[in-house]
Structure formats: C-alpha cells, structure tokens
Amino acid sequence: MKNAGRWRKIIGTVLAMLLCLGLVAPAIAANPPTFSVVSNNPQWGTVEYDSFLDSEGRLTKTAFAAVYDPSDRYVFDRWEVSGDARIVSQNAIRLDGEIRLTMPETGHVEVRAIFREMVNPGRITIGPSNPDWAVAVALDIAWASGPISGWAEAGERIDLYAFTMNSYELREWSVRAGGVTINDPIWEHFDIPYDTLWEYRAWFTMPSPAVDVDIVAVLAERAAQVTPEPPPRNEESTQPDQALFVTINGRQMEFEVPPYLIENRVFVPFRAIFQELGATVNWNPYMQTATGERDEITVTLMIGSNIVFINGVSEEIDVPARIINGRILVPTRVVAESFGAEVTWDAASRTVNITAG
C-alpha cells in the first residue's frame, strides 16, 4: 500500500509538470466526452465505431452498421443521434450505413442504428445454370459463387451481376418465376493476370405487390474466345508426364484441373483446397481476392500479390495466387499452414502431404 501511494504521488507530479509545460492537453483535467453506439435490435444488425483526430485535431467518431444476414427480411433504415455532436456525413444503403461526427468537448453522445423489418417483401433467388462456369452471381443485396437469395420490397430496383472467366459467357437472364422484366443487359471485360474476367449486369423492378422471383444466369462455353497472352511456359504448369498429387490426412485429392508447379511451388484450385480444409469460401471479383474462413481463422489471398492476410495481419509469401485457364489457383503450402496444418513434400512420388487437425 505504501508503494502504491508513492507511485500515485509520482504520477500526479509528472502529470502536473507536463500540464505546465503544455505537453499534455488540459482535457486530462476536464471531463472528456463519452460516446456509445447501439442498435435498436441487436438481433437484426451489428454496430461498431472507430475514433480519430481530424485535420484540425478534433476528436471524430465514425460508426458503422450492417445487417447480420442479407438473406433475412431486415434492412438498415437510418441513424439517430443524441448529444451535442456535429454530423459530418452519413448514409444508409439498405444493408449497411456509416455516420461520421465531430465530438463536443464534454458530454455524452449516443448514436443509434435503426434497423427495420421489410413490409410484405418478395423473395429473390438467382443462380448460375452451371456453378462450375461462374466465378460469382450476385444481387445488389447479396452475392456468392453459387445460388443466392434475398428479399425486396415493392418498387425496389434490384441489380443483377454475373462474373465468368474467358472460357464462358452469359447467354441470357432467364426469368423462371415472378414475371419481371430484365432491363439494360450489358457486359464488359477486364484484363487480369493470365486471363480475362467478364462482368454481366442487368436490373429489374420488384412488382407491386411484391412477388417471389427466380432468375437463372444461363451460361455457355464461349464460342470465340478472347484469349490474352499466355504466361511464360516455365511459369504455367508441369508436363503431363510429371503429374503432381496432393493428399489430406492420407486421402488423395481429386481436382477438376491438375495441380500446377510454379516456381517450385504446388498450386491447386482455391475452392477445392479451402473446402477440403473445412473452410467456407468467398471470391471477390472486384478486389480479386480469395478468402477462406474456418473457426476463428480468416485467410485472404489477392491475385498477383505476394501478401497473404491471416486474420487481417499481412505476411509475405514466395509466390502469389493467380488465374490460369479460367481457374483461381493458390499455393498449397501457404493455405494449409495458415489453417494450422502440417505440410511435407515427397519428391519421389511428387506428392504434397497435408496433415490437418
């Protein structure tokens, strides 16, 4: 107790000296402002916030809100603010929102995220005719690599998206239920490492009253391919007589495309390796990132980047993920070890052996 009292005196003396020298803001001696952000219904959406100083040194808060599950019948509606704060900007975009405000010198500020349940919505389902040919299909309310669904109220405009690699194309948006009209179907393509990504877009308006809508993105093999220059031969693959194999816990994996040997690293299709390791899979065609999540581990690789993110922390890797012949390939060892698996290489049988827990 005597030592604790002595340290309190020392700390108090140091703070007083710093205040006198102007090295510590007087706010230490005042009552600093407090802040909280809450949801009107925590079961419908999540909220969080960040703090920083603006260019003039004022304490600024940015709050974020997001619907928990895009397939649910809930939307983010608006922000409500109590307290003497100055709102710098705010938005509410159906599934999420953001608000930024400057804090007062004292007092409490509460930001409330208001979620609401949709009124008599219709269910929308969209999927590719062949999941193996689509990188992703999407609504502006949700997106995934396979069939997805969401809800929309009468009068809402719903944007449709489909993404393919160079070998496949979208032939049509086929309305199987709901009788909606598909408007302004357009496409464009983007050159990416070793391939071309095609994006197809269209939209429709939810009728009034809202109805259930089922749409299929009808895909087909592209008749006349627009093929970018192939990568150098020594970076593409092994020859057919130099087969590569991958086992997980002793079981040999089967792939739609064979493993590739690139810069002495074995590459496999990202979806297969993630799923075999028990991870859920996500491909973001805009950011060109492949993400796998399992338990409390999230692994993200970007096409062409020598950086892998593990739970948001960046680590440098020898060779980047890439796209070859329309397939997203990732380095086997990097992915497996990121999820805590042990990886060994058997040169005699040209086999990568993965031991996963």
* CATH code, domain carrying 109: 2.60.40
Q: What is the 3-state secondary structure (H, E, C) of the chain?
A: CHHHHHHHHHHHHHHHHHHHHCCCCHHHCCCCCEEEEEECCCCCEEEEEEEEECCCCCEEEEEEEEECCCCCCEEEEEEEEECCCEEEEEEEECCEEEEEEECCCCCEEEEEEEEEECCCCEEEEEEECCHHHCCEEEECCEEECCCEEEEECCCCEEEEEEEEECCEEEEEEEEEECCCCCEEEEEEEEEECCEEEEEEEEEEECCCCCCCEEEEEEEEECCCCCCCCCCCHHHCCCCCCCCCEEEECCEECCCCCCCEEECCEEEEEHHHHHHHCCCEEEEECCCCEEEEEECCEEEEEEECCCEEEECCEEEECCCCEEEECCEEEEEHHHHHHHCCCEEEEECCCCEEEEECC
Q: Does residue 136 share a domain with residue 49? A: no
Instruction: Identify whether residues 131 and 101 lie together within a single domain.
Output: no
> Are residues 151 and 44 both part of a single domain?
no
CATH code for the domain of 266? 3.30.457.10
**Is 90 in the same domain as 139?**
no
- 212 and 242 co-located in one domain: no
Domains held by the chain: number: 3
Percent of the chain with pLDDT over 70: 81
Residue 44 lies in domain: 31-117
- Distance (Å) of CA 203 to CA 29, 171, 175, 182: 57, 16, 12, 6
From 117, 151, 181, the end of a domain falls on 117
Residue after which a domain boundary falls, among 187, 221, 255 = 221
In the sheet that holds 327-331, the strands lie side by side as 260-262, 265-269, 327-331, 322-324
116 falls in which pLDDT band (50, 70, 90)? very high
On whether both 285 and 210 belong to a single domain, the answer is no
Q: Between 87 and 9, where is the model more confident? A: 87
Residues 215, 311: one domain? no
pTM: 0.53
Mean residue pLDDT of the chain comes to 80
Q: What is the pLDDT at residue 120?
A: 94
Tens digits of residue pLDDT in 32-91: 899 999 999 988 988 999 888 877 888 999 999 988 877 788 899 999 999 999 999 998
Confidence class of residue 345 from pLDDT cuts 50, 70 and 90? confident
Band (262; pLDDT cuts 50, 70, 90): confident
In a domain, 5, yes or no: no
Residue ending a domain, choose from 117, 149, 164: 117
**20: in domain:** no
pLDDT on residue 174 = 94
- On whether both 180 and 142 belong to a single domain, the answer is yes
3 found inside a domain: no
Statement to judge: residues 75 and 148 lie in one domain = no
pLDDT of residue 30: 58
What's residue 110's pLDDT? 96
Residue 186 CA to chain centroid, in angstroms?
Answer: 25
345, 248: one domain: yes
How confident is the model over 148-204, as pLDDT tens digits? 888 899 999 888 888 888 788 899 999 999 999 999 888 887 766 556 788 888 999
**Residue 304 pLDDT level (bands cut at 50, 70, 90):** confident
- Give the integer Cα–Cα distance in Å for 115 and 76: 4
Residue 11, in any domain of the structure = no
Token readout for 230 is 């192939």
What is the CA angle 162-273-309, rounded to 5?
Answer: 80
Is residue 94 predicted with pLDDT exceeding 90? no
